[in-house]
Protein backbone atom coordinates (compact mmCIF):
# COMPACT_ATOMS: atom_id res chain seq x y z
CA UNK A 1 0.00 0.00 0.00
CA UNK A 2 1.07 3.59 -0.54
CA UNK A 3 0.38 6.89 1.20
CA UNK A 4 -1.10 9.20 -1.44
CA UNK A 5 -0.73 12.26 0.83
CA UNK A 6 2.95 12.68 -0.03
CA UNK A 7 4.26 15.84 -1.66
CA UNK A 8 3.56 15.80 -5.41
CA UNK A 9 6.82 16.29 -7.27
CA UNK A 10 7.40 13.29 -9.59
CA UNK A 11 7.14 14.17 -13.28
CA UNK A 12 5.43 11.90 -15.82
CA UNK A 13 5.26 11.56 -19.59
CA UNK A 14 2.08 9.66 -20.39
CA UNK A 15 2.48 7.86 -23.71
CA UNK A 16 -0.57 6.69 -25.66
CA UNK A 17 -0.05 4.83 -28.95
CA UNK A 18 -3.24 5.20 -30.98
CA UNK A 19 -4.41 3.62 -34.22
CA UNK A 20 -7.94 4.39 -35.47
CA UNK A 21 -9.20 5.32 -32.01
CA UNK A 22 -11.61 8.15 -32.84
CA UNK A 23 -14.31 6.55 -30.69
CA UNK A 24 -12.09 6.34 -27.58
CA UNK A 25 -9.25 8.85 -27.61
CA UNK A 26 -11.23 11.87 -26.36
CA UNK A 27 -12.59 10.02 -23.31
CA UNK A 28 -9.11 8.72 -22.52
CA UNK A 29 -7.52 12.18 -22.71
CA UNK A 30 -10.30 13.77 -20.66
CA UNK A 31 -9.83 11.23 -17.87
CA UNK A 32 -6.11 12.06 -17.73
CA UNK A 33 -6.70 15.81 -17.77
CA UNK A 34 -8.97 15.47 -14.71
CA UNK A 35 -6.08 14.25 -12.54
CA UNK A 36 -5.66 15.53 -9.00
CA UNK A 37 -2.10 16.32 -10.01
CA UNK A 38 -0.39 19.55 -11.13
CA UNK A 39 -0.53 19.84 -14.92
CA UNK A 40 3.01 21.23 -14.91
CA UNK A 41 4.26 17.84 -13.69
CA UNK A 42 2.88 15.73 -16.51
CA UNK A 43 2.56 15.70 -20.28
CA UNK A 44 0.42 13.58 -22.57
CA UNK A 45 2.10 12.27 -25.71
CA UNK A 46 -0.20 10.68 -28.26
CA UNK A 47 1.59 8.95 -31.11
CA UNK A 48 -0.74 8.27 -34.01
CA UNK A 49 0.12 4.94 -35.64
CA UNK A 50 -1.02 5.47 -39.24
CA UNK A 51 -4.66 6.14 -38.35
CA UNK A 52 -7.11 6.51 -41.23
CA UNK A 53 -9.87 8.06 -39.12
CA UNK A 54 -10.25 11.28 -37.09
CA UNK A 55 -7.88 10.32 -34.26
CA UNK A 56 -5.29 13.05 -34.97
CA UNK A 57 -7.91 15.75 -35.54
CA UNK A 58 -9.49 15.03 -32.16
CA UNK A 59 -6.10 15.26 -30.43
CA UNK A 60 -5.33 18.55 -32.19
CA UNK A 61 -8.54 20.05 -30.82
CA UNK A 62 -7.35 19.23 -27.29
CA UNK A 63 -3.98 20.85 -28.02
CA UNK A 64 -5.64 24.23 -28.49
CA UNK A 65 -6.48 24.42 -24.77
CA UNK A 66 -3.85 22.13 -23.22
CA UNK A 67 -0.19 22.93 -23.92
CA UNK A 68 0.95 19.75 -22.14
CA UNK A 69 -0.47 17.57 -24.96
CA UNK A 70 1.88 16.54 -27.76
CA UNK A 71 0.87 14.74 -30.97
CA UNK A 72 3.38 12.73 -32.99
CA UNK A 73 2.63 11.13 -36.36
CA UNK A 74 4.45 7.79 -36.54
CA UNK A 75 4.23 7.78 -40.34
CA UNK A 76 6.37 10.93 -40.43
CA UNK A 77 8.93 9.35 -38.10
CA UNK A 78 9.26 6.12 -40.10
CA UNK A 79 9.35 7.68 -43.57
CA UNK A 80 7.62 4.67 -45.15
CA UNK A 81 9.65 1.97 -43.39
CA UNK A 82 7.70 -1.25 -42.72
CA UNK A 83 7.96 -2.91 -39.28
CA UNK A 84 6.76 -5.98 -37.43
CA UNK A 85 6.26 -4.11 -34.14
CA UNK A 86 4.74 -0.70 -34.72
CA UNK A 87 3.69 -0.26 -31.10
CA UNK A 88 7.23 -0.63 -29.74
CA UNK A 89 8.52 1.84 -32.30
CA UNK A 90 5.69 4.25 -31.43
CA UNK A 91 6.56 4.13 -27.74
CA UNK A 92 10.28 4.45 -28.44
CA UNK A 93 9.73 7.53 -30.64
CA UNK A 94 7.43 9.08 -28.04
CA UNK A 95 10.00 8.56 -25.29
CA UNK A 96 12.49 10.39 -27.50
CA UNK A 97 10.17 13.42 -27.44
CA UNK A 98 9.39 13.17 -23.71
CA UNK A 99 10.62 15.78 -21.23
CA UNK A 100 9.73 14.14 -17.89
CA UNK A 101 11.53 11.66 -15.63
CA UNK A 102 8.97 8.84 -15.62
CA UNK A 103 7.20 7.16 -18.52
CA UNK A 104 3.67 5.83 -18.12
CA UNK A 105 2.13 3.86 -20.97
CA UNK A 106 -1.58 3.34 -21.43
CA UNK A 107 -3.90 2.63 -24.36
CA UNK A 108 -6.23 4.93 -26.24
CA UNK A 109 -9.31 2.96 -25.15
CA UNK A 110 -8.45 3.23 -21.44
CA UNK A 111 -9.96 5.41 -18.71
CA UNK A 112 -8.01 6.36 -15.58
CA UNK A 113 -9.13 7.55 -12.14
CA UNK A 114 -8.55 11.08 -10.84
CA UNK A 115 -5.97 9.75 -8.38
CA UNK A 116 -4.03 7.75 -10.98
CA UNK A 117 -0.88 9.88 -11.20
CA UNK A 118 -0.88 10.69 -7.47
CA UNK A 119 -0.85 6.98 -6.63
CA UNK A 120 2.12 6.39 -8.94
CA UNK A 121 3.93 9.40 -7.45
CA UNK A 122 3.40 8.05 -3.92
CA UNK A 123 4.84 4.67 -4.91
CA UNK A 124 7.84 6.31 -6.58
CA UNK A 125 8.63 8.60 -3.66
CA UNK A 126 8.09 6.04 -0.90
CA UNK A 127 9.68 2.93 -2.43
CA UNK A 128 12.05 4.18 -5.17
CA UNK A 129 11.32 1.47 -7.78
CA UNK A 130 12.37 1.81 -11.42
CA UNK A 131 9.37 -0.04 -12.88
CA UNK A 132 5.80 -0.19 -11.58
CA UNK A 133 3.12 -2.56 -12.84
CA UNK A 134 -0.43 -1.49 -12.01
CA UNK A 135 -3.96 -2.93 -12.20
CA UNK A 136 -6.13 -3.05 -15.31
CA UNK A 137 -9.76 -4.13 -15.41
CA UNK A 138 -12.25 -4.76 -18.20
CA UNK A 139 -15.74 -3.33 -18.30
CA UNK A 140 -18.47 -5.98 -18.29
CA UNK A 141 -21.65 -5.75 -20.36
CA UNK A 142 -23.13 -9.02 -19.08
CA UNK A 143 -22.51 -11.23 -22.13
CA UNK A 144 -20.75 -14.58 -21.74
CA UNK A 145 -17.78 -13.29 -23.73
CA UNK A 146 -17.52 -10.11 -21.67
CA UNK A 147 -17.91 -11.93 -18.36
CA UNK A 148 -15.36 -14.55 -19.37
CA UNK A 149 -12.80 -11.91 -20.35
CA UNK A 150 -13.42 -9.98 -17.13
CA UNK A 151 -12.95 -13.02 -14.91
CA UNK A 152 -10.00 -14.39 -16.88
CA UNK A 153 -8.29 -11.01 -16.85
CA UNK A 154 -8.66 -10.29 -13.16
CA UNK A 155 -7.21 -13.74 -12.41
CA UNK A 156 -4.23 -12.69 -14.53
CA UNK A 157 -4.07 -9.48 -12.52
CA UNK A 158 -3.91 -11.53 -9.32
CA UNK A 159 -1.07 -13.63 -10.72
CA UNK A 160 0.69 -10.45 -11.84
CA UNK A 161 0.47 -8.85 -8.40
CA UNK A 162 1.58 -12.05 -6.68
CA UNK A 163 4.50 -12.70 -9.03
CA UNK A 164 5.82 -9.14 -8.78
CA UNK A 165 5.41 -9.08 -5.00
CA UNK A 166 7.28 -12.40 -4.76
CA UNK A 167 10.15 -11.05 -6.85
CA UNK A 168 9.36 -13.19 -9.89
CA UNK A 169 8.66 -10.11 -12.05
CA UNK A 170 7.15 -12.00 -14.96
CA UNK A 171 3.94 -10.16 -15.82
CA UNK A 172 2.61 -6.68 -16.44
CA UNK A 173 0.28 -4.88 -18.83
CA UNK A 174 1.21 -1.99 -21.09
CA UNK A 175 -2.20 -0.41 -20.49
CA UNK A 176 -0.95 0.61 -17.03
CA UNK A 177 2.81 0.49 -16.75
CA UNK A 178 5.36 3.03 -15.48
CA UNK A 179 9.15 3.09 -15.60
CA UNK A 180 12.00 5.53 -15.23
CA UNK A 181 13.06 6.98 -18.56
CA UNK A 182 16.67 6.59 -17.43
CA UNK A 183 16.09 2.86 -16.82
CA UNK A 184 14.57 2.47 -20.30
CA UNK A 185 17.70 3.87 -21.88
CA UNK A 186 19.97 1.99 -19.45
CA UNK A 187 18.67 -1.34 -20.84
CA UNK A 188 18.79 -0.01 -24.44
CA UNK A 189 15.04 0.22 -24.68
CA UNK A 190 13.44 -2.31 -27.01
CA UNK A 191 16.75 -3.21 -28.64
CA UNK A 192 16.88 -6.99 -29.06
CA UNK A 193 13.10 -7.41 -28.77
CA UNK A 194 11.98 -4.88 -31.37
CA UNK A 195 11.45 -7.57 -34.04
CA UNK A 196 8.71 -9.21 -31.91
CA UNK A 197 5.23 -7.84 -32.59
CA UNK A 198 4.10 -8.06 -28.97
CA UNK A 199 5.95 -7.57 -25.68
CA UNK A 200 6.26 -3.81 -25.27
CA UNK A 201 5.36 -4.50 -21.63
CA UNK A 202 6.48 -7.93 -20.37
CA UNK A 203 9.63 -8.27 -22.49
CA UNK A 204 10.72 -4.78 -21.44
CA UNK A 205 9.98 -5.66 -17.82
CA UNK A 206 12.17 -8.75 -18.24
CA UNK A 207 15.07 -6.58 -19.46
CA UNK A 208 14.68 -4.05 -16.65
CA UNK A 209 14.47 -6.85 -14.08
CA UNK A 210 17.90 -8.09 -15.19
CA UNK A 211 19.42 -4.65 -14.65
CA UNK A 212 17.43 -3.73 -11.52
CA UNK A 213 16.36 -7.03 -9.88
CA UNK A 214 15.08 -5.49 -6.64
CA UNK A 215 13.49 -2.37 -8.12
CA UNK A 216 10.24 -3.75 -9.59
CA UNK A 217 6.92 -3.05 -7.84
CA UNK A 218 3.19 -3.63 -8.22
CA UNK A 219 0.87 -0.75 -7.34
CA UNK A 220 -2.02 -2.51 -5.61
CA UNK A 221 -4.19 0.59 -5.22
CA UNK A 222 -7.76 1.26 -6.33
CA UNK A 223 -6.70 4.78 -7.30
CA UNK A 224 -4.32 3.27 -9.85
CA UNK A 225 -6.91 1.12 -11.65
CA UNK A 226 -7.18 1.62 -15.40
CA UNK A 227 -10.43 0.53 -17.06
CA UNK A 228 -10.55 -0.69 -20.65
CA UNK A 229 -12.93 -2.47 -22.99
CA UNK A 230 -12.95 -6.23 -23.59
CA UNK A 231 -12.70 -7.58 -27.11
CA UNK A 232 -16.07 -7.19 -28.86
CA UNK A 233 -16.20 -10.68 -30.40
CA UNK A 234 -14.54 -14.08 -30.20
CA UNK A 235 -12.38 -13.48 -33.27
CA UNK A 236 -10.87 -10.32 -31.74
CA UNK A 237 -10.44 -12.09 -28.42
CA UNK A 238 -8.48 -14.97 -29.97
CA UNK A 239 -6.34 -12.58 -32.00
CA UNK A 240 -5.51 -10.66 -28.82
CA UNK A 241 -4.53 -13.79 -26.91
CA UNK A 242 -2.53 -15.18 -29.84
CA UNK A 243 -0.65 -11.86 -29.88
CA UNK A 244 0.05 -12.19 -26.16
CA UNK A 245 1.19 -15.81 -26.57
CA UNK A 246 3.51 -14.95 -29.48
CA UNK A 247 6.18 -13.57 -27.14
CA UNK A 248 6.36 -16.63 -24.86
CA UNK A 249 9.71 -17.94 -26.13
CA UNK A 250 11.32 -14.49 -26.26
CA UNK A 251 11.95 -14.03 -22.53
CA UNK A 252 15.65 -13.83 -21.72
CA UNK A 253 14.79 -15.17 -18.27
CA UNK A 254 14.15 -18.80 -19.21
CA UNK A 255 12.51 -19.48 -15.85
CA UNK A 256 9.56 -17.48 -17.16
CA UNK A 257 9.57 -19.46 -20.40
CA UNK A 258 9.52 -22.82 -18.64
CA UNK A 259 6.70 -21.73 -16.34
CA UNK A 260 4.69 -20.80 -19.44
CA UNK A 261 5.52 -24.17 -21.01
CA UNK A 262 4.38 -25.97 -17.86
CA UNK A 263 1.09 -24.02 -17.80
CA UNK A 264 0.54 -24.78 -21.49
CA UNK A 265 1.24 -28.50 -21.06
CA UNK A 266 -1.13 -28.70 -18.10
CA UNK A 267 -3.92 -27.11 -20.12
CA UNK A 268 -3.11 -29.32 -23.12
CA UNK A 269 -3.48 -32.39 -20.90
CA UNK A 270 -6.85 -31.12 -19.66
CA UNK A 271 -7.90 -30.47 -23.25
CA UNK A 272 -7.01 -34.01 -24.38
CA UNK A 273 -8.21 -36.03 -21.41
CA UNK A 274 -11.93 -36.11 -22.31
CA UNK A 275 -10.99 -37.55 -25.70
CA UNK A 276 -8.62 -40.05 -24.10
CA UNK A 277 -11.51 -41.25 -21.93
CA UNK A 278 -13.08 -42.82 -25.03
CA UNK A 279 -10.18 -45.27 -25.03
CA UNK A 280 -9.69 -45.61 -21.27
CA UNK A 281 -12.70 -44.44 -19.28
CA UNK A 282 -10.89 -43.77 -15.91
CA UNK A 283 -9.31 -40.75 -17.60
CA UNK A 284 -12.54 -38.88 -16.95
CA UNK A 285 -11.90 -39.09 -13.21
CA UNK A 286 -8.31 -37.88 -13.67
CA UNK A 287 -9.71 -35.01 -15.75
CA UNK A 288 -12.17 -34.03 -13.03
CA UNK A 289 -9.40 -34.11 -10.40
CA UNK A 290 -6.99 -31.98 -12.43
CA UNK A 291 -9.60 -29.47 -13.52
CA UNK A 292 -10.74 -29.10 -9.89
CA UNK A 293 -7.10 -28.52 -8.85
CA UNK A 294 -6.66 -25.91 -11.58
CA UNK A 295 -9.85 -24.13 -10.56
CA UNK A 296 -8.92 -24.02 -6.88
CA UNK A 297 -5.45 -22.63 -7.57
CA UNK A 298 -6.77 -19.94 -9.90
CA UNK A 299 -9.56 -18.98 -7.52
CA UNK A 300 -6.98 -18.28 -4.80
CA UNK A 301 -5.80 -15.44 -7.03
CA UNK A 302 -9.14 -14.46 -8.54
CA UNK A 303 -11.30 -14.17 -5.39
CA UNK A 304 -9.26 -11.51 -3.53
CA UNK A 305 -8.68 -9.62 -6.78
CA UNK A 306 -12.42 -9.79 -7.49
CA UNK A 307 -13.04 -8.22 -4.08
CA UNK A 308 -10.42 -5.57 -4.83
CA UNK A 309 -12.25 -4.62 -8.03
CA UNK A 310 -15.61 -4.80 -6.25
CA UNK A 311 -17.06 -7.71 -8.24
CA UNK A 312 -18.68 -10.88 -6.87
CA UNK A 313 -19.41 -12.87 -10.03
CA UNK A 314 -15.93 -14.43 -9.91
CA UNK A 315 -17.77 -17.63 -8.92
CA UNK A 316 -18.69 -18.00 -12.58
CA UNK A 317 -15.09 -18.95 -13.28
CA UNK A 318 -15.37 -22.73 -12.56
CA UNK A 319 -18.18 -22.98 -15.12
CA UNK A 320 -16.09 -21.18 -17.75
CA UNK A 321 -13.07 -23.47 -17.39
CA UNK A 322 -13.70 -25.39 -20.67
CA UNK A 323 -13.49 -22.11 -22.61
CA UNK A 324 -10.37 -21.10 -20.69
CA UNK A 325 -8.63 -24.42 -21.39
CA UNK A 326 -9.55 -24.40 -25.09
CA UNK A 327 -8.39 -20.85 -25.74
CA UNK A 328 -5.12 -21.40 -23.83
CA UNK A 329 -4.26 -24.41 -26.00
CA UNK A 330 -5.33 -22.86 -29.30
CA UNK A 331 -3.85 -19.39 -28.68
CA UNK A 332 -0.61 -20.87 -27.35
CA UNK A 333 -0.15 -23.03 -30.43
CA UNK A 334 -1.02 -20.28 -32.93
CA UNK A 335 1.10 -17.77 -31.01
CA UNK A 336 4.11 -19.93 -31.82
CA UNK A 337 3.26 -21.35 -35.23
CA UNK A 338 0.51 -19.17 -36.68
CA UNK A 339 -0.25 -15.54 -37.40
CA UNK A 340 -2.91 -13.12 -36.29
CA UNK A 341 -4.70 -9.91 -37.22
CA UNK A 342 -4.22 -6.86 -35.03
CA UNK A 343 -5.29 -3.28 -35.65
CA UNK A 344 -5.93 -4.14 -39.30
CA UNK A 345 -2.48 -5.68 -39.79
CA UNK A 346 -1.50 -9.30 -40.39
CA UNK A 347 1.33 -10.23 -38.02
CA UNK A 348 3.51 -13.36 -38.01
pLDDT score of 170 more than 70:
no
pLDDT in tens, 270-317: 899 888 888 888 888 888 898 888 888 877 777 777 777 776 656 677
Q: What percentage of the chain reaches a pLDDT higher than 90?
A: 45
Q: What's the structural domain count of the chain?
A: 1
The answer to whether residue 3 is domain-embedded is no
Average confidence score pLDDT of the chain:
86
In a domain, 263, yes or no: yes
Q: Is the pLDDT of residue 213 over 80?
A: yes
| Of the candidates 224, 229, 273, 222, the residue with the CA atom closest to the CA atom of residue 104 | 224
Mean pLDDT for 29-33 is 97
pLDDT of residue 165: 65
Alpha helix stretches (DSSP H) within 72-193: 74-78, 86-97, 116-127, 144-165, 181-186
Residue 100 domain-assigned (yes or no): yes
In a domain, residue 99? The reply is: yes
Question: Does residue 5 belong to any structural domain of this protein?
Answer: no
Q: Please report, for the domain that includes residue 296, its CATH number.
A: 3.90.550.10
Q: What is the pLDDT of residue 311?
A: 66
The confidence score (pLDDT) of residue 72 equals 96
Report the distance separating Cα 132 and Cα 143, nearest Å. 32
pLDDT tens digits, residue range 95-121?
999 999 999 999 999 999 999 999 999
Residue 296 within any structural domain of the chain: yes
Q: Is residue 4 part of a domain?
A: no
**Structural domain range at position 85:** 12-347
Is residue 2 included in any domain, yes or no? no
Residue 86 clears pLDDT 80, i.e. is over it: yes
pLDDT of residue 321: 84
Which of 152, 132, 191, 159 shows the shortest CA–CA distance to 259? 159
Amino acid sequence: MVDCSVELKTTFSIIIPARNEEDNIAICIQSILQQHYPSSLFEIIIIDDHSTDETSKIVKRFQIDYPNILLIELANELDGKALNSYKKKAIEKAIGFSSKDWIITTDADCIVTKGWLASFAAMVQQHQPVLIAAPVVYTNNGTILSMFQYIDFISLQGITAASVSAGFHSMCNGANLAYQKEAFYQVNGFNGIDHIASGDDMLLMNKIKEAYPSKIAFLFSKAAIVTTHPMPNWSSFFNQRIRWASKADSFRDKNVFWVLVLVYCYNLLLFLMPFMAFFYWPFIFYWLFFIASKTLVELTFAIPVGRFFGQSFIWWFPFLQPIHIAYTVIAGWLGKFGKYEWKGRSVK
